[in-house]
């Protein structure tokens, strides 16, 4: 991992997660985010309980810090163009972090019933292993 690189990890077999990864890839104009399925990236998720590896998305920042689920939203925002300031605001506001966590839980609760029935894209996104 380079000094300025982030890694987004998610369930590679989930249609919603794959769509999310494709959206992030399109928004990542500076190509700072490597997008990888968690299934083949377990070494990056040391310390994450096994039952959480595929249950939520994870961000690994350039320093190796792992954030997951709603707590990973500011890390994702800071990796995107012009996102550092917004990430700082979100991270510093308990109200905004609470909203991010609740929104994430809402989306995750319905992923298996609604979107994951759609097959993931045949091609992967990101800049490889």
Using one digit for the tens of pLDDT, what is the confidence trace for 3-20?
Answer: 689 999 999 988 888 889
Predicted local confidence at residue 34, as pLDDT: 96
The pLDDT tens digits for 35-80 are 999 999 999 999 999 989 998 999 999 999 999 999 999 999 999 9
Sequence-ordered strand ranges (E) for the chain = 6-10, 33-37, 58-60, 66-68
What confidence category does residue 129 fall into, taking pLDDT thresholds of 50, 70 and 90?
A: very low
Q: What is the pLDDT of residues 76-98, one digit of tens each?
A: 999 998 898 999 999 999 999 99
Residue 113 has a pLDDT of 64
Long-range contacts of 94-103 (CB under 8 A, 24+ apart): 97/70, 97/71, 100/70, 100/71, 100/73, 100/74, 101/69, 101/70, 101/71, 102/70, 103/70
Whether 35 and 24 have beta carbons less than 8 Å apart is answered as yes
Task: Retrieve residue 51's tokens.
Answer: 């039952």
Q: What pLDDT sits at residue 123?
A: 46
């Amino acid at each position: 991992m380079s000094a300025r690189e982030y890694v987004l990890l998610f369930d590679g077999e989930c249609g919603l997660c794959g769509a999310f990864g494709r959206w992030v890839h399109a928004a990542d104009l500076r190509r700072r985010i490597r997008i990888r399925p968690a299934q083949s990236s377990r070494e990056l998720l040391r310390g994450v309980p096994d039952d959480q590896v595929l249950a939520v998305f994870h961000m690994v920042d350039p320093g190796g810090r792992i954030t997951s689920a709603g707590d990973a939203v500011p890390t994702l925002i800071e990796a995107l163009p012009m996102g550092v300031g917004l990430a700082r605001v979100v991270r510093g506001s308990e109200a905004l972090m609470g909203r991010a966590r609740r929104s994430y839980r809402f989306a995750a609760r319905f992923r298996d019933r609604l979107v994951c029935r759609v097959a993931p894209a045949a091609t992967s996104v990101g800049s490889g292993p």
